[in-house]
Chain A
Amino acid sequence: DTAVSQTPKYLVTQMGNDKSIKCEQNLGHDTMYWYKQDSKKFLKIMFSYNNKELIINETVPNRFSPKSPDKAHLNLHINSLELGDSAVYFCASSRSLQGANYGYTFGSGTRLTVV
Chain B
Amino acid sequence: GQQLNQSPQSMFIQEGEDVSMNCTSSSIFNTWLWYKQDPGEGPVLLIALYKAGELTSNGRLTAQFGITRKDSFLNISASIPSDVGIYFCAGQRDYGGSQGNLIFGKGTKLSVKP
Binding site for B on A (CB under 8 A): 4, 33, 40-45, 48, 56, 58, 90, 92, 97-109
Contacts and interface: CB of A to CB of B under 8 A. Distances in A.
Contact of B40 (A33, A99, A108): A108
B45 A108 contact: no
B40 A100 contact: no
28 contacts: A33-B102, A40-B106, A41-B37, A42-B107, A43-B43, A43-B104, A44-B104, A45-B101, A48-B101, A56-B101, A90-B42, A92-B42, A98-B99, A99-B102, A100-B33, A100-B48, A100-B90, A100-B92, A100-B99, A100-B102, A103-B33, A103-B48, A104-B45, A105-B45, A106-B44, A107-B42, A108-B40, A108-B42
Nearest to B34: A103
Given A42-B106, A100-B31, A106 B42 contact: yes
Interface of B: 31, 33, 37, 40-45, 48, 50, 86, 88, 90, 92, 98-99, 101-104, 106-107, 109
Q: Looking at chain B's contact residues, is the secondary structure mostly helix, strand, loop, or mixed?
A: strand
Given A41-B107, A43-B88, A103-B33, A109 B98 contact: no
Given A42-B107, A43-B104, A108-B40, 19 more contacts: A40-B106, A44-B104, A48-B101, A58-B101, A98-B99, A100-B33, A100-B90, A100-B92, A100-B99, A100-B102, A101-B31, A101-B50, A102-B48, A103-B45, A104-B45, A104-B102, A108-B42, A109-B40, A109-B41
Given A43-B104, A100-B92, A109 B42 contact: yes
B99 to A, nearest CB: 5
B54 to A, nearest CB: 13
